Amino acid sequence: MRQKRDLHDLLWYLSDPDRPDPNLILLNNALSQTHSHGPTLKEENWRDILRQRVEELEWRNARDDVAPFIERIQDLELLTRENPQRVLE
């Protein structure tokens, strides 16, 4: 996962209880175009795959990377390993 804007966008997307399900065809095509070697995203596995990727992040670096995109500095406190894990449940 590119950490900068993607992490912020992921948290924004997952925090909306009315969000639509992700477009897995579009995501898989994008992953294929970027030569990703990960598993194909499916309805039954995309949450688990994202949970694993979130777990692997170096959070100190991720927060530093995202900080320039955050309008309200207090929102940076929401960028913890636990928050995306919780909304992916």
Residues with Cβ within 8 Å of residue 24, at least 6 apart in sequence? 41, 42, 43, 46
Counting Cβ atoms within 10 Å, is residue 41 exposed (0-12), middle (13-18) or buried (19+)? buried
Give 12-64 pLDDT, tens digit per residue. 888 888 989 899 999 999 989 988 888 999 999 999 999 998 888 888 888 88
Neighbour count for residue 29 (Cβ, 10 Å): 11
* pLDDT for position 1: 46
| pTM of the predicted model as reported, rounded to 2 decimal places | 0.77
Query: Distance (Å, rounded) from C-alpha 4 to C-alpha 17?
Result: 23
Would you say residue 8 has pLDDT above 80?
no
Q: Hey, where are the domains in the chain?
A: 4-87
